[in-house]
Structure 1
Amino acid sequence: MTGKDTKRIIGEALRDIVESAKSGGPRIRVGLMATGSELGPEELARGAVAAREARPGLEVVMIGPKIDGYDQLQWIETPDCEEDISRAMESALKEGDVSAAVALHYPFPLGVTTIGRVVTPARGRPMFIASTTGTSATERIEAMVRNAVYGVATARSLGMSDPTVGILNIDGAQTAFRALLKLHDNGFPLSFGSSVRKDGGAILRGNDILAGAVDVCVTDTLTGNVLIKMFSAFTTGGGDEATGWG
């Protein structure tokens, strides 16, 4: 290691200490693709600024062609090319320039999926939707079972010690329920919730998800994608996520 490298490392460490003291905790750098939104790149940049203001410990690093008027954000500049932006994001993650990244239209590998979180309108209860994007498995039933496991893990990571699970009444729901029941009987920690209907049960109908009858609603990704958009933006026509966590 050269003297120049040593000075750079010490400088970065001191900067992190100062930033941590300012924000009251460690500063987290999160990359954000600057293109790909249906609402345009400016909307993403505005969101990055809002996120920084809401969370002092967050540093948003925009990845892509720089947008005029947002010099307060850090940028990893690239040409306006989806492949170049993806490569820059991957490189930033690999090199440790960012700790996490938010991507749009990124070709996620099989097995990667998103667990959404919404506020249910009838009772104002939070509910996880497993899942909303990505593909946890190519076969539908296996994907729903994996979604349930991922949803429970996400809920636990956010402080729920024993989240309840229900399966939306779509094609394959009963088969997925039987598979999850077998997991439970074999010792996997899984608690089934109950429908608000008189006959109860862990198979959910529309009124159950409106009421937030369970903590984790298991569904296929395409249905989950529609649900997350309806719950978060049904009052704005999709122009803004007015409720929930997006």
Structure 2
Amino acid sequence: MSDNNIKDMIGKVFNDIADAMQTGQFGERVKVGITVAGSELGIDNIVKGAEMAQARDKSIEVVLIGPKVDSALTQHNVEGEDAQHKKMEELLDSGEIGACITMHYNFPIGVSTVGRVVTPGQGREMFLATTTGTSSPHRVEAMVKNGIYGIITAKAMGIKDPTVGILNVDGARQVERAFKDLNSKGYPVNFTESGRADGGSVMRGNDLLTGTPDIMITDTLTGNLLMKVFSSFSTGGSYEAQGFGYGPGIGEDYNRTILILSRASGTPVVANAIAYAASLIRGNVTQIAKEEFEKANKAGLKDILKGLTKDTKKVEAKEEEVVEAPPAETVTGTINGIDIMELEDAVQALWKEGIYAESGMGCTGPIVMVNEAKLSEAIKALAKAGYDVGESDPC
């Protein structure tokens, strides 16, 4: 080893010791990535938020992913949003970064994000479960899963026994029964009481403002709307100035810690989202997810979910046709406008035409994903099959 290399190593050791003494954080810094292109507010908005997050907490190393920018932060330079996501996935899968924040990312069905807000009534933090993605095509099943995802996230954030409430939307009572059933079979759920006089675990609008539960369970589209209101009610809507973003994608056997921002998320939210991601890394959210799913499944979660959906499934008199998927291809072209209940049927309609397709969830709703070169052909095939579709998935 050369003298220069030895000097560099010694210098790094002393720098690490100085950082640890300043921050009180000893050991390796957590690495959080963030993709910089795609914001409606410009790349500089994201970079400033990233620099703010690292300045606040020296135990975080922020890694920028995207086009080259004028910043002292570590950078992985690629061009284009698809390239950003590919690089992000590579860095996550290799362990180079522990989590990443991005915009406009398509999670698989079964994965949705747990947002984190500061409620205006009493300044309490509250988790919204969930805010983007789709846990299940079935509304009530999705909300039950959303509740599990919220519990996982809250525990990863250090809340040992988080309180749970269910927003008073369609399906709330069915969700309540499902969780009580799960609770009785050995999976503890710490229901809270509404702040209104009649109490109960079904939450009112007032409970949203005061942050009555640690975790507010709702359907994802309502959660998405609430995130936007909580984040930008003081700015007129064009700039999200408050909160921690739309949160991590959680799902059974999903091992990437990817957090979502809106294209309208401002610099303060960017910085907060990075801090949120760092806390999830330290709290080992992936391991907690594994443990919580094991406990919930042991208590009969899958049977409870089957009971929720069995009455909504159509009984076919004839045997359903089995459609074989064509050979898999890279799918970066997106088609929107298809109802969630028809999403898998649309995929199989394309398979029948020899076009490989996958289902997913974009920022505006369900999408069918196909190879970019076959996008026009796929749109024509779906239109022919009776689907009202549109190209791309704008945010």
Deviation (angstroms), 1:18: 4.7
Which residue is 1:23 aligned to? 19
CA distance in 1, matches of 2:67, 2:7: 28
Q: Give the drift of 1:17.
A: 4.7
Instruction: Give, in angstroms, the shift of residue 109 of structure 1.
Output: 2.1
| Alignment equivalent of 1:62, drawn from 61, 64, 67 | 64
Deviations 1:17-54 (A, max 9, x none): 55542322321221111112121211111111111111
Secondary structure of the corresponding residue to residue 103 of structure 1 = strand
Separation in 2 of the partners of 1:64 and 1:188?
42
TM-score (norm 2): 0.56
Q: Does the alignment pair 1:76 with 2:76?
A: yes
Distance across 1 between alignment mates of 2:73 and 2:52: 11
Residue 57 of structure 1 and its aligned partner are, at CA, apart by: 1.4
Instruction: Give the C-alpha shift of residue 15 in structure 1.
Output: 7.8
| Higher radius of gyration, 1 or 2 | 2
Give the partner amino acid of 1:220. Answer: D
1-structure distance, mates of 2:113, 2:166 = 17
- The residue matched to 2:236 in structure 1 has which SS? coil
Aligned residue for 2:144, secondary structure, equals: helix
| Cα distance change, pair 71–125 in 1 and its aligned pair in 2 (3 A) | closer
- Give the secondary-structure state (helix, strand or coil) at the position aligned to 2:149: helix
Matches within 5 A, 1:203-242: 203-242=202-241
What is the DSSP-based 3-state SS (H/G/I as helix, E as strand, rest coil) of the residue aligned with 1:229? helix
Distance 1:104 1:11 in 2: 40
SS in 1 for 2:103: coil
* Structure-1 residue corresponding to 2:172: 173
Match of residue 134 from structure 2: 135
Q: Secondary structure at the match of 2:104?
A: coil
CA distance in 2, matches of 1:135, 1:115: 12
Per-residue deviation, residues 138-185 of structure 1 (Å, max 9, x unmatched): 221111111111111222222222211111111111111111111111
Q: Distance in 2 between matches of 1:71 and 1:164?
A: 41
- Rounded to whole Å, the distance in 2 between the matches of 1:35 and 1:211 is 35
Given the superposition, is the C-alpha separation of residues 185 and 27 from structure 1 closer, same or farther in structure 2, using an over 3 Å criterion? same
Provide the aligned length of Structure 1 versus Structure 2. 238
1:96-245 to structure 2, matched below 5 A, reads 96-245=95-244
Matches of 1:113 and 1:14 in 2, distance apart? Answer: 44
RMSD of Structure 2 on Structure 1 (CA): 2.5
Q: Is the Cα contact below 8 Å between 1:20 and 1:57 reproduced in 2?
A: no
Match of 1:48 in 2: 50
Counterpart of 2:275?
A: none
1:108-137 deviations in whole A, cap 9, x for unaligned?
222322211212211222211111122222
SS at match of 2:122: coil
Deviation, 1:95, is 2.6
Identity of aligned residues (%): 46
Change (3 A) 1:28 1:12: farther
Q: How far apart, in 2, do the equivalents of 1:11 and 1:224 lie?
A: 52
Normalised TM-score (structure 1)? 0.87
Cα distance in 2 for partners of 1:236, 1:125 equals 20
Q: Which amino acid aligns with 2:72?
A: Q
For structure 2, list consecutive stretches of 5 or more residues without a partner in the other structure.
Answer: 21-25, 246-395
Match of 2:288 in 1: none
Pair 192,11 (structure 1): closer, same or farther in 2 beyond 3 Å: farther
| Runs of 5+ consecutive residues of structure 1 not aligned to the other structure | none
Deviates more, 1:92-101 or 1:160-169: 92-101
Q: For 1:195-244, what per-residue CA distance to the aligned partner results, in whole angstroms no more than 9, with x for missing partners?
A: 11211111111111112221110001111111122112211224554433
After superposition, the Cα gap between the structure-2 partners of 1:192 and 1:121, relative to the gap in structure 1 and judged at 3 Å, is: same
Aligned partners of 2:207 and 2:192: how far apart in 1? 10
